[in-house]
Amino acid sequence: MNPVAGTGAAGAGEGALRLLIVDDQPLIRRGLAMMLATEPGIAIVGQAADGREAIDQALATEPDVVVMDLQMPGVSGVVATREITARLPHTRVVVLTTYDHDDLVFAAIRAGAQAYLLKDASEAEVLETVRAVHRGESRLSPTIARKVLQQLRRLGTEAVPPAPGPAPRALQGDRQDDALTDKEERILELIAQGLSNKRIAATVFLAEGTVKNYVSRIMDKLHAASRTELAVRAIGRRSLG
């Protein structure tokens, strides 16, 4: 589908946050586009009705952020998220869905989603999440965070349910993790709070590049494939510790 004429005019211009909206329900898709296009600094670069269109449009427009539904005909939002984040590493995905099933939550996180919101989220929450993800932060709605915590408590040291298709490294139990240093534990906690590398650097008085190296090392130690997985791991370590 082509971008809707007139959307993004308020935010158009150099440096605007480029946003792609994906949802199989036209009213929701267009409503989101109209709402977000009125915000300063945001330009709607396209809309898509399913995962295949989302992938095609993302590759064509290279958006900064994709607002992604999950349950769609044809190619699902999880598959589209995995493909987009693999091929466009600088594009970030915000899941916005009606569904909060455990398997979908973990599948979306493993696919590379940086945020997971339910469709009962307020307009302000959606907008703030889009902007936060663009800054390099991660977000889980309170409902989803609670489900993640409950799931990790149930599973203990078992692996969480696998994502469909070829999956990156699993979220393993703590007994299979390499031990973190005190500094790494502190940085992991700040990641779980959704802070970007820049804000973490200011908090722990390190250079941003040094924080980036710490994050990579923590991801290796905890077998995580994304910052959002690290946030999930931090929640699990608190609940199981």
- Evaluate if residue 26 carries a pLDDT over 80: yes
SS3 content of the chain, % helix, strand, coil (to 5): 50, 10, 40
Predicted local confidence at residue 92, as pLDDT: 95
Tell me the CA distances in angstroms from 61 to 19, 70, 119, 218, one per residue in order: 9, 21, 25, 32
Read off the pLDDT band of 62 (50, 70, 90): very high
Complete domains list, the chain, with CATH = 17-144 (3.40.50.2300), 162-240 (1.10.10.10)
The larger pLDDT score, comparing residue 198 to residue 150, is at: 198
| Cβ count near 36 (within 10 Å) | 24
Contact 152, 235 (CB under 8 A): yes
- In angstroms, the CA 104 to CA 57 distance is 23
- Those residues with Cβ within 8 angstroms of residue 32's Cβ, 6 or more apart along the chain or in another chain: 21, 23, 67, 96, 126
Predicted local confidence at residue 52, as pLDDT: 96
The CA-CA-CA angle for residues 191, 194, 121, to 5°, reads: 150
The larger pLDDT score, comparing residue 217 to residue 173, is at: 217
- Evaluate if residue 190 carries a pLDDT over 80: yes
* pTM assigned to the model: 0.67
- Those residues with Cβ within 8 angstroms of residue 222's Cβ, 6 or more apart along the chain or in another chain: 177, 178, 180, 188, 229, 230, 233
- Evaluate if residue 41 carries a pLDDT over 80: yes
- In angstroms, the CA 76 to CA 164 distance is 11
Q: Are strands 42-48 and 65-68 parallel, antiparallel or unpaired?
A: unpaired
